[in-house]
Amino acid sequence: MELAISRIIVEQYLRKLRDCLDLDVALVGAGPSALVAARELAAAGLRTAIFERRLAPGGGIWGGGMLFNELVVQSDALPILDDFSVGHRPAGEGLHAVDSVEMAAGLIFGARRAGAVLLNAVTVEDLMVRPDRVTGLVINWTPVVREQMHVDPLTVSARAVVDATGHPGEIARLAASKAGLRLDSPTGAVPGERSMWAERGEIDTVENTRRLCPGLYACGMAANQVHAGFRMGPIFGGMLKSGRKVARLILDDLRA
Ligand code: 48H
């Protein structure tokens, strides 16, 4: 029996990984914006995978506000939660309370059920570029990266790459600093996010969700890093709407 268990896991994982070597869309980071985008892209028939550094996908959803595991979402983003069958309760002033554990679990399940592949414990450490276009990811196991083991990475090709790494905006920074690509941003690079202003931050997040250069897009807090948007604290409507917007941008571009 033990032999069969090990064989199943090895064979199934290798098949999953092999199918991810040549993707339509590779998303980096499995926070709320990426999970919404991945569900929409996979449901549209695109080969879609999310690469997540941590063991648990979900990004900043789980911790709610200061570890109180409740989040806030505005009325206009509720249809997205409804698509994932995530519950919500009216809380006044057009705001709704959401259990953060239910939201994390629901978004992960929804993305996966639509056909998106989630590869967790995988860190994206670099990009592939040819020469003015992002063409894929350079990946390694998170423990390998954390232990600073001298182990060469593998690569994943993708027609579109999405920086969904949240506050660090890691992929956009790599594109600008290491790959030398000029981004569609106020500085051509990554100026960084601005301080807390919830109303503006929520608008910025959706507005700033754009294509950064050929082959590269940003959503969620990463988009605010690139365009100097405001942060907003534990309100998540903008993240959900940003995920939907980046999916639609990519669908339009890849179908053009
Ligand atoms: C693989 C990586 C890498 C890498 C990072 O931060 P996230 O939850 O992403 P968003 O932008 O969808 O949501 C932001 C939201 O959670 C938030 O932080 C808010 C609303 N803040 C407001 C405020 O004022 O503070 O998730 C990003 C994910 C994480 O799970 C990282 O582990 C992962 O990306 N990640 N994965 N390779 N190089 N870098």
- Domains and their CATH numbers in the chain: 20-255 (3.50.50.60)
Banded model confidence at residue 256, pLDDT cuts 50, 70, 90:
confident
Strands 70-74 and 95-99: antiparallel
- Please give the distance, rounded to the nearest whole angstrom, from the Cα atom of residue 252 to the centre of ligand 1: 25
The reported pLDDT for the residue numbered 228 is: 97
What distance in Å separates the CA atoms of residue 116 and residue 69, rounded to the nearest whole number? Answer: 26
Residues contacting residue 68 through CB under 8 Å, at least 6 positions apart: none
Nearest-angstrom CA–CA distance, 184 and 206: 15
pLDDT, residue 215, reads 98
Q: For the segment 4-60, what is each residue's pLDDT rounded down to a tens digit?
A: 999 999 999 999 999 999 999 999 999 999 999 999 999 999 999 999 999 999 999
Report the atom number in ligand 1 closest to the C-alpha of 243: 12
Task: Tell whether ligand 1 has an atom less than 6 A from the beta carbon of residue 117.
Answer: no
Give the pair of three-digit tokens for residue 214.
Answer: 């050929």
Give distance in angstroms: CA of 184 to centre of ligand 1: 21
pLDDT tens by residue, 210-238: 999 999 999 999 999 999 999 999 999 99
Distance between Cα 15 and ligand 1 center (Å): 27
pLDDT at 126: 98
Q: Which two tokens stand for residue 205?
A: 């997040």
Sign of CA dihedral 155, 168, 200, 101: positive
Task: Confirm if 29 and 50 have CB atoms less than 8 A apart.
Answer: yes
Q: Which atom of ligand 1 is nearest to the CA of 54?
A: 32
Output the residue whose Cα is nearest ligand 1's atom 5.
165
